[in-house]
């Protein structure tokens, strides 16, 4: 079951997934979905902030009850503070429950990992 509050989405529309760094750290990410009643997770999007490609992905549409999970790898100077967001939107607006903010400090080698999971409702 999802460990965060649900994301309220229209199941007939595509979701606009955006990964945004708010500090000058490198981000790598992967997002998966699992449809209701299915056992298998499917990769919905992946990328990183160093490729010069916008980190905005159209995904779906998805049925209500679909689970979405994300993983972020953060890289930068050792011990530096970082902020980033994973946003889920439709029709150019962030969905209710659709902004997942992460923050923290990189370890002594300059890395950090954040992840989460939510239900599309």
In contact, 13 and 90? CB cutoff 8 Å: yes
* Domain covering 15-119 in this structure, CATH number: 2.60.60
111-116 average pLDDT score: 97
Pairing of strands 15-21, 56-59: antiparallel
Helices (H) and strands (E) in the chain, counts: 0, 8
| Cα first-last separation, the chain | 13
Dihedrals phi, psi of 38, to nearest 5 degrees: -95, 155
| pTM score of the predicted model | 0.92
Give residue limits of the domains in the chain.
15-119
Query: How confident is the model over 58-89, as pLDDT tens digits?
Result: 999 999 999 999 999 999 999 999 999 999 99
Q: Say if residue 91's pLDDT is above 60.
A: yes
Query: How confident is the model over 2-15, as pLDDT tens digits?
Result: 557 999 999 999 99
């Amino acid at each position: 079951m999802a460990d965060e509050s649900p994301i309220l989405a229209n199941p007939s529309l595509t979701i606009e997934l955006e990964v945004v760094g708010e500090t000058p750290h490198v981000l790598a990410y992967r997002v998966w979905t699992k449809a209701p009643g299915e056992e298998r997770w499917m990769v919905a999007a992946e990328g990183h902030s160093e490729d010069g490609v916008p980190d905005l992905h159209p995904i779906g549409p998805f049925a209500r009850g679909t689970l979405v999970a994300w993983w972020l790898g953060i890289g930068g100077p050792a011990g530096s503070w970082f902020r980033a967001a994973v946003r889920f939107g439709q029709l150019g607006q962030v969905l209710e429950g659709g902004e997942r903010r992460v923050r923290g400090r990189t370890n002594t080698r300059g890395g950090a990992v954040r992840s989460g999971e939510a239900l599309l409702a």
